[in-house]
Chain A
Amino acid sequence: MTTMRRLSIILVLLGVCAGVAAAQEPPAPAPAPAAANPLAGVSLDKYRLNADKNDALQVGRAFLDDLKKASPDAWASVTEAIRYDLQTGETERFARQKNYVLYAYAALWVILLVFVVGVFARQRHLAAELAELERRVSVERK
């Protein structure tokens, strides 16, 4: 019997064993029904933004104050989640906008440098022209 045929038989046997084992395992328990959202039935109208009466900061703070009174643990979790989200967002925004500030700063110096180099080039050109004029005048005089 060739080595390849032996290996094939071993693999088939392993597959059969695995199939039998899987068949004998108890079926996975059905996922537990999602816990009902405790806020689902609660009226949150009090915390809705009404542009004529309040602003988002006021209603947001009122909600957090009420939440803290009702459950300090829940309040701590919520504020922690908000802090993390805000921090992540602000870090990304800072990194993105910092690049724009650097581009603007670099552009400023490149433009000024080009102007200064241009003025010095003109100055050198002028000096060369003056030297040429002096040379031509002295040649003509001789």
Chain B
Amino acid sequence: MKLRGIPTFVFAAAAALLFFRLPFLVFEKAPLDYMLYINQKIFYYHVPAAMMMFLAVFVCGVASVLFLVKRDPKFDDVALAAGDLVVTFGLIVLVTGPIWAKAAWGVPWVWEARLTQSLLLWMIFVAYALVRRYGGAGSERLASGLALFGMVNVPMVYFAVNFWKTQHPTNKVVPNLRGAMLSVFGTATLSYFLLFLVLLSVRLAVGRGQRRLAAAHDLAVENGHLD
């Protein structure tokens, strides 16, 4: 497996090194937050996971558009792999978020705009994965439409804190990071991005393998080698 000519294991090794280093940076280098205290450390895992979820949604959405326009299955493979990553990173966001909320707000969940929209986005991509798995022949196009719907939902999730009065922190937290907090957050985001590339590559290889196997099976039947 390769990512733009570079073997995937190189990315995997870099991600592993950074993830090994990350807890030391988060707990030793990043200073304690004045208001949130130690529970702010969850930020370094929660926010990059949310960023990777958005990235996966965009990859899935754009690949779905290209698949609908060009009908080239390679775009469908990318969309399917990215769809699985939306579910995975979304689950990380939806589990670490309530744990943080319990520590900071005293309650794990409130039905406010940002949280509810995030849950909705995740559920759209769970539906996407279910349609792809159990939808049968022709479900690719239906799922592509679902992915587009999900992609349109991303700005709603991101700007929900601006449109509505929410308990969730605003979008100004990351741009206002300074010093060690900013460098540790940058390292965390880079770690997650490398992990995202590795997981996408691995999942993509499996998806392509499944497609080739199905094609080989059809060819064998067509040529009379199989019933």
Contacts and interface: CB of A to CB of B under 8 A. Distances in A.
Interface of A: 93-94, 96-98, 100-101, 103-105, 107-108, 111-112, 115-116, 119, 122-123, 126, 129-130, 133, 136-137, 140-141
A116 to B, nearest CB: 8
Interface string B32-49: 000001110110011001
B180 interface: no
10 contacts: A94-B37, A97-B38, A100-B42, A104-B100, A108-B49, A112-B92, A116-B199, A123-B205, A133-B217, A137-B225
A104 B206 contact: no
| B-side interface mostly | helix
Contacts of B226: 133, 136-137, 140
A24 to B, nearest CB: 60
Contacts, number: 85
B100 A100 contact: yes
Interface of B: 23, 37-39, 41-42, 45-46, 49, 84, 88, 91-92, 95-96, 99-100, 102-103, 195, 199, 202-203, 205-206, 209-210, 213, 216-217, 220, 224-227
A129 B210 CA distance: 9
A133 B45 contact: no
Contact of A126 (B38, B96, B213): B213
A115 B89 CA distance: 10
| Of listed A94, A111, A122, A137, residue having the most chain B CB within 10 A | A111
A126 B206 contact: yes
Nearest to B207: A122
Contacts of B37: 93-94, 97
Given A101-B41, A123-B206, A129 B92 contact: no
A126 B210 contact: yes
B38 A130 contact: no
Given A97-B103, A100-B103, A108 B39 contact: no
Nearest to B220: A137
Contact of B213 (A94, A105, A130, A137): A130
Which 7 pairs, one residue from A and one from B, show the smallest C-beta to C-beta distance?
A100-B103, A104-B96, A104-B99, A97-B39, A107-B95, A115-B88, A104-B42
